[in-house]
């Protein structure tokens, strides 16, 4: 048995055969920990005369109980869902959430991180702007001892916890579904070149074609990720000598442009051309026909991201390896794609 007065969280953990982080949370009566475990930990801590050290205490008293969030855009339903997931978990844990919108601007992103540090937030959640190629502002946050979790738009250059969705698999599943339903000439309206999600979703699309021995027709892949452009591109695609019999778009909003254009050309959906999007935003329920799509689980991404951040805050001393959590997507089949044997 160790001497009292020098007892640490690790000692209690070893004694009870549980992790130090569980002990730390139990001592704070964190709701993640079962009532039983909290009782065992607190009983032992009392028995051993465990005292949290002075530095930890002083740190705690200066805490703002605020988490900072930097998000590219609030207008996308996906990011709104992420915010909701973050806030629901954070407020339950007694934290509030201070939000800055970068509006896809690198400059605003840098200003936002500085303002968050000035406001003494305890941790920062960030999804990078499209422009961000330099990461000094993130390094600066970490240098200040403030933990960071990156979500959705992450980078490899910085070591933090990360949460992304399996974009490759989501695209692969969407295109596989089209192929199973009998589509053979599948077009892809892709995101901007160079973005990680563009590459992953395109690669998922290509892999599904390859696996089903369908030839990739370069003319059927177009960089186009918005409503207005989609209407123009769809008309161009449908006026080809060999038009597509399905269109897979990088997001739902682009798919709505495709649908609008097909209506105008009196092309039936899904009988003549199937359409499938990506995101499962509110919009996918209101198109006519309703839109098949890939759910990105934005709300869950928010929850997981803030939980990883809270874990870092609850275990400031513990050096745990960084986690990159990849969430599974979910294929949502509605009316804009044809039935397959499996879902008919």
The verdict on 253 binding a copy of itself (CB under 8 A) reads yes
Nearer to a copy of itself by C-beta: 244 or 257?
A: 257
Nearer to a copy of itself by C-beta: 61 or 242?
A: 61
Q: How far apart are the first and last CA of the chain?
A: 66
Residue matched to tokens 């605003």: 108
Nearer to a copy of itself by C-beta: 45 or 230?
A: 230
Q: How far is CA 213 from CA 171, 181, 210, 237, 272, in A?
A: 17, 15, 5, 22, 22
CA–CA distance, 131 with 330 (Å, rounded to integer): 29
Site string for a copy of itself, 83-112 (x = CB under 8 A): xx--x---x----xxxxxx-x----x--xx
Binds a copy of itself by CB under 8 A, chosen from 178, 237, 259, 309: 259
**Span from 17-25, 171-179, 184-192, 283-291 in contact with a copy of itself (CB under 8 A):** 283-291
3-state secondary structure (DSSP) of residue 249: strand
Q: Least distance in Å: CB of 318 to a copy of itself?
A: 28
**Span from 18-26, 49-57, 159-167, 281-289 in contact with a copy of itself (CB under 8 A):** 281-289
293-295 and 330-332 beta bridge pairing: antiparallel
Q: Least distance in Å: CB of 278 to a copy of itself?
A: 16
Q: Chain-centre distance of CA 95, in angstroms?
A: 20
**Span from 76-84, 125-133, 154-162, 184-192 in contact with a copy of itself (CB under 8 A):** 76-84
Q: Least distance in Å: CB of 242 to a copy of itself?
A: 27
The verdict on 130 binding a copy of itself (CB under 8 A) reads no
The verdict on 202 binding a copy of itself (CB under 8 A) reads no
- Residues in 29-68 at the binding interface with a copy of itself, rule: CB under 8 A: 64, 66
Q: Least distance in Å: CB of 189 to a copy of itself?
A: 15
The verdict on 263 binding a copy of itself (CB under 8 A) reads yes
Q: How far is CA 202 from CA 131, 166, 264, in A?
A: 21, 13, 27
Binds a copy of itself by CB under 8 A, chosen from 4, 285, 317, 343: 285
CA–CA distance, 197 with 342 (Å, rounded to integer): 28
Q: How far is CA 48 from CA 39, 54, 59, 246, 260, in A?
A: 14, 18, 24, 68, 70
Angle at 113 between CA 112 and CA 117, to 5 degrees: 115
The verdict on 288 binding a copy of itself (CB under 8 A) reads yes
Binds a copy of itself by CB under 8 A, chosen from 73, 104, 199, 207: 73
CA–CA distance, 305 with 325 (Å, rounded to integer): 9
106-118 and 136-143 helices, crossing angle to 10°:
10
The verdict on 287 binding a copy of itself (CB under 8 A) reads yes
Concatenating the DSSP letter of every residue in 145-210 gives: T--EEEESS--SSS-SEEEEE-HHHHHHHHHHHHHHTT--SEEEEE--TT-HHHHHHHHHHHHHHH
CA–CA distance, 273 with 245 (Å, rounded to integer): 5
Give the interface size with a copy of itself as a residue count (CB under 8 A): 39
Nearer to a copy of itself by C-beta: 232 or 282?
A: 282
**Span from 5-13, 157-165, 286-294, 307-315 in contact with a copy of itself (CB under 8 A):** 286-294
Helix ranges (DSSP H) in 181-336: 196-211, 227-238, 252-264, 298-314
**Span from 136-144, 259-267, 300-308, 315-323 in contact with a copy of itself (CB under 8 A):** 259-267
CA–CA distance, 102 with 65 (Å, rounded to integer): 23
The residues of the shown chain that bind a copy of itself, judged by CB under 8 A, are 64, 66, 73-75, 77, 79-81, 83-84, 87, 91, 96-101, 103, 108, 111-112, 115, 118-119, 227, 253, 256-257, 259-260, 263, 282-283, 285-288
């Amino acid at each position: 048995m160790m001497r009292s007065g020098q007892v640490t969280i690790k000692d209690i953990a070893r004694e009870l055969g549980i992790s130090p982080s569980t002990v730390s949370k139990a001592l704070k009566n964190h709701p993640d920990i079962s009532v039983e475990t909290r009782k065992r930990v607190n009983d032992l801590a009392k028995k051993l005369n465990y005292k949290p050290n002075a530095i930890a205490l002083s740190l705690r008293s200066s805490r703002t109980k605020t988490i900072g969030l930097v998000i590219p855009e609030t207008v996308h339903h996906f990011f709104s869902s992420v915010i909701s997931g973050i806030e629901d978990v954070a407020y339950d844990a007694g934290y509030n959430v201070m939000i800055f919108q970068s509006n896809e601007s690198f400059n605003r992103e840098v200003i936002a991180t500085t303002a968050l540090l000035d406001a003494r937030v305890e941790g920062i959640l960030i999804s990078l702007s499209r422009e961000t190629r330099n990461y000094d502002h993130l390094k600066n946050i970490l240098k200040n001892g403030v933990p960071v979790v990156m979500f959705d738009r992450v980078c490899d250059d910085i070591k933090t916890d990360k949460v992304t969705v399996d974009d490759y698999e989501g695209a692969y599943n969407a295109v596989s579904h089209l192929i199973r339903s009998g589509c053979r000439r599948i077009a892809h309206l892709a995101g901007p070149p160079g973005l990680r999600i563009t590459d992953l979703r395109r690669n998922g699309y290509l892999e599904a074609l390859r696996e089903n021995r369908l030839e990739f027709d370069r003319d059927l892949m177009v960089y186009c990720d918005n409503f207005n452009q989609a209407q123009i591109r769809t008309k161009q695609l449908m006026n080809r000598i060999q038009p597509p019999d399905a269109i897979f778009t990088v997001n739902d909003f682009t798919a709505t442009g495709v649908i609008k254009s097909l209506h105008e050309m009196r092309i039936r959906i899904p009988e003549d051309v199937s359409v499938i999007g990506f995101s499962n935003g509110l919009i996918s329920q209101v198109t006519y026909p309703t839109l098949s799509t890939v759910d990105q689980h934005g709300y869950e991404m928010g929850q997981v991201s803030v939980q990883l951040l809270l874990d870092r805050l609850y275990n400031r001393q513990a050096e745990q390896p960084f986690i990159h959590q990849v969430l599974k997507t979910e294929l949502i089949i509605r009316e804009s794609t044809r039935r397959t044997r499996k879902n008919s």
